[in-house]
Amino acid sequence: MADHPKVLISGAGPVGLTLANELVRHGIPVRIVDKAVQRTDKSKALVLWSRSLELFDDAGYVTGFLAAGMPAHGARISTGTQVVAEVSFGVIDSRFAYALMIAQSETERVLEERLAASGVTVEREVELTGFTDTGSSVEARLAKTNGARETVETEWLIGCDGAHSAVRHGLGFEFEGSTLQSHWALADGHISGLSPGDHLHIFWHRDGILAFFPIAADRWRVIADLGPARDSDTHPDPTLDQINELIARRGSPGIVMSDPVWLAAFRINERKVRDYSRGRVFLAGDAAHIHSPAGGQGMNTGMQDAFNLAWKLALVIEGAAKPFLLDSYSRERSAVGDRVLRNAGLMTEAATLRNPLLQDVRNAILRFATGFPQIRHRVADQLAEMDIGYPDSPLTAHAAGFSDGPKPGQRWPQRLPDGMGGRKFTAWGPAVVVTALADKFPRLVVAVPGGHTLRLIRPDGYVGFAGSSADSARAEAYLAALV
């Protein structure tokens, strides 16, 4: 635990734990607090998609997740009697061409154990009650359940404290959006009669959607919409019998749930802040954006918020980059949040159509579209968040006429050098050129000789600059602007 943390993180869910691990990997002193007594024991967010796995791989600690999770290799949409579409995750352009199904309780365990092994313990039953950004630091007020109170001075405060974020409220940011006018049921339990076991199964029944997501062995998550809701209406949690009635009516014959671990009713919120930061205070994950669970991208998007912010904070704290580098965080991640919110909303809207004629039209369009391999490929890459990029970022240098491989703003497909993922820019290209750049900017760049094209790969695996070996002066100017 850092007595004088450079960064204070409020919230020790998957996003806060990811951010803490990344900052500690940079050698940045952090404190991480959470008002909960212990980490979640619920399955909650269920999938780590390919892009998130790549980032953890570049950072050097993907193996813990792989050992705890189960690969899912595709998704099937049907009416219960007829297959509408199938998508194979094997076409995803990644070294992790699958969806890793893993309960959030396990994701948090892996992250918290790694953080503890690095010497940082999550401070439980500690709540952030307020803060003041003085301009040169942040004074954060903490309260413990035993009545003790503490004021912490930190350089930076990050709110990873979920949909009801105290940090967001402290900033006075509006959480713009709405609550969908529908009720939903969730069940986590053991399922028999459903195959293949390594696929997501989605049933578009006349009455509504029924979806199955594998967790482990014969354990599955079931989600179903329960019809219209009004305003702040709540719905009682479903019983096992009610879940099995839904399964029998909407699914294929013979599917049965038993031994439920978790039964709950919920509403879907679609909300987002406009800005992810102000001054020395930042928001990440559900504190900044919440949306439909369709596509399973909420936790992944939040984790990628953390990866984006961590390397920028670290370089600024270390004095290796100017503070203006941090301005790019909100611009980049807010644009991604808008996109994920829009896509999840469209998927939910399509899945919950009530008009039988529109349902038939939807099914026919999807069946036709997914008959084309390139469309199936695009759908898989979008789900896996492989197509996310930063074309409009201030950190993206647009190279006129450049067309050889990934362009500036796009994801770099190769694994970053061991130990460097998330730490420095990687200068990739002719040996003489990249070595000279690393020698001139030793705190910012690591050199990897290879090929004739010159690229500067950001620490989070996106191309910042691309050109020919003759463009070394432009690459140098790009780096010089950061320091």
Q: Are 412 and 421 in contact (CB under 8 A)?
A: no
One fold for 7-46+103-177+270-346 and 390-483: no
Report the C-alpha gap between 20 and 1 in whole angstroms: 12
Residue 152 one-letter amino acid? V
What local confidence, expressed as pLDDT, does residue 11 receive?
98
The β-bridge relationship of strands 277-278 and 281-283 is antiparallel
What is the reported pLDDT for 420? 62
- The CATH number of domain 7-46+103-177+270-346 is 3.50.50.60: yes
What integer pLDDT is reported at residue 1 of this predicted model? 47
pLDDT reported for residue 419: 59
**Positive or negative CA dihedral for 393, 99, 78, 248?**
negative
Give the separation between CA 103 and CA 70, rounded to whole angstroms: 10
What tokens were used for 454?
């010159």
Residue 285: partners with Cβ closer than 8 Å, 6 or more residues away = 11, 13, 14, 15, 16, 160, 162, 299, 301, 302, 303, 305, 306
Query: How many helices (H) does the chain have, and how many strands (E)?
Result: 12, 26
Q: Which CATH number describes the domain made up of 390-483? A: 3.40.30.120
The pLDDT score that the predictor gives to residue 398 is 76
Q: CA quadruple 391, 395, 399, 403: dihedral positive or negative?
A: negative
Q: What is 181-267's CATH number, 3.40.1380.10, 3.40.50.2000, 3.30.420.40, 3.30.70.2450?
A: 3.30.70.2450
Question: Which residue numbers in the chain have pLDDT < 50?
Answer: 1
Query: Where exactly are the structural domains of the chain?
Result: 7-46+103-177+270-346, 181-267, 390-483
